[in-house]
Amino acid sequence: MPGDRRAFSFETTTQLPPSAQGKGRDGTRYGRSGIIHTPHGDIRTPAFVPVATQAAIKGVLPEQMKELGAQCLLSNAFHLFERPGEAVIDEAGGLGRFMNWDGPTFTDSGGFQVLSLGAGFKKTLAMDVKGMKSDDVIAKGKERMAFVDEDGVTFKSPLNGSKHRFSAEISMGIQHKIGADIMFAFDELTTLMNTRAYQERSVERTFRWAQRCVAEHERLTAARVGKPYQALYGVVQGANYEDLRRHAAEQIASLDFDGVGIGGAIEKRVIGDTCAWIADAMPLSRPRHVLGIASVDDIFACVENGGDTFDCVAPARVGRNGAIYTHDGRYNIKRAGFKHDFGPLEEGCDCYTCTHYTRAYVDHLLRARELNGFTLATIHNEHFFITLLDDIRASIDGGYFDEFRDQTLAHFYANGSRG
């Protein structure tokens, strides 16, 4: 039989009460705790989803991710398509079995590569943007490696320069073979520097692609007999424009998706508003995933206004470069003062790194570019974000979210942290 759709569902545990500061309709605050049920286990939300881009967290084993509290992992369909290829993962029994992870998994559709390969802006999606508007925007020193048309996107491989084609149907085919519990519809991710006219065209194109994704998803679900049901999330784009975001949210809500991805480059000053605009249009039964966000203040703003799950590469990426997250802010472990510091990365932290190793040792490893340094810094940073979302969830259930938010942000940003 085809996968049973009833294996995937979402239930709300606790809803934040409305307030005068609520950004949703009639002062609604869409923040909530809940449970996403998947064929490979439950995800208690709000939750942080570490990014295992190529079916791996760089330097950290899946068993270690489980030990530090990760409930689920997210991989990227485009990168797995390039290597080892979706057929290999399908033959292995799906993404989780391939990387020895027995919990829930997500795959990003490849839509992020529309921006990262097309315009060259790779990692930061919550932006402060000033300056000109342009539809031919390209990051300084970058070559355009993705070209969008009505049917899909032609990519130039960052590995070897070969050309590949992604469309709604191709993305769905790849993701079904990868076999994650939760997939995303193929979308066009724009920059905040694109013109209003282009953003309008892009929103409509993403909707047409979403319709095609739903149709192909239904076809493949019926055809892939004996496979667990894979949930499909639609993605809402629209940049900073409230009317476009609301329009796109209504479009995605009208289709038979299992959940929604809040996507696109978002300016920090409206990140909470954007989540609320989208949540206004969404059925409460659909979980809401915020793509690519990991700044502490952004997470609180998104949770309060409807974000259920979050993913970002930042904890691992910046950790490999020496940036360490703590409850008192983010600091660089490679500062000279830490060479003789034999305390933990963060006092009071119970992660494996902090209970076994010192700042001086991690500083040495990272300066020497020893892989153990990448491992230890990543373990701590991923633990920080996983635990932060766990604590936020507890504060919602316990009725003290506002106090916890204010105290956490005051401590974290007291010294001007960039986090």
Residue 130 predicted with pLDDT over 90 = no
The verdict on whether residue 110 carries a ligand-binding annotation is yes
Q: For strands 163-167 and 231-236, give the pairing.
A: unpaired
Place of tokens 């286990």: 41
Distances (CA, A) of 321 to 9, 183, 375, 381, 385: 38, 30, 12, 12, 17
The verdict on whether residue 354 carries a ligand-binding annotation is yes
Can you give the C-alpha Rg of the chain in angstroms? 21
pLDDT band at 131, cuts 50/70/90?
Answer: low
The verdict on whether residue 312 carries a ligand-binding annotation is no
The verdict on whether residue 237 carries a ligand-binding annotation is yes
DSSP secondary structure letters along 319-379? HHTTEEEETTEEEETTSGGGTT--S-SSTT--SHHHHH--HHHHHHHHHTT-HHHHHHHHH
pLDDT confidence of residue 115: 65
Top pLDDT among 380 and 145 is at 380
The verdict on whether residue 108 carries a ligand-binding annotation is yes
The verdict on whether residue 37 carries a ligand-binding annotation is no
What architecture is domain 9-312?
Alpha-Beta Barrel (3.20)
Share of the chain above pLDDT 70, in %: 95
Kind and range of the H or E run holding 390: helix 371-398
Residue 196 predicted with pLDDT over 70 = yes
pLDDT confidence of residue 195: 85
230 by DSSP, 3-state: which?
coil
pTM of the model: 0.94
Q: What is the mean pLDDT of residues 247-258?
A: 98
Catalytic residues: 108, 311
Residue 124 predicted with pLDDT over 50 = no
Q: What is the mean pLDDT of residues 160-166?
A: 91
Instruction: Tell me the C-alpha distance between 106 and 111, whole Å.
Output: 14
Tell me the pLDDT of the chain averaged across its residues. Answer: 93
Residue 70 predicted with pLDDT over 80 = yes
The verdict on whether residue 213 carries a ligand-binding annotation is no
Q: What is the mean pLDDT of residues 392-399?
A: 98
Share of the chain above pLDDT 90, in %: 82
Residues of the chain with CATH 3.20.20.105: 9-312
Q: What is the mean pLDDT of residues 43-67?
A: 97
Q: What is the mean pLDDT of residues 181-185?
A: 98
Top pLDDT among 382 and 120 is at 382
Residue 120 predicted with pLDDT over 70 = no
pLDDT confidence of residue 192: 83
Which pLDDT tens digit goes with each residue over 200-212? 999 999 999 999 9
The verdict on whether residue 149 carries a ligand-binding annotation is no
pLDDT band at 133, cuts 50/70/90?
Answer: low
Q: Which candidate, 320, 315, 311, 353, places its Cα nearest to that of 68? A: 353
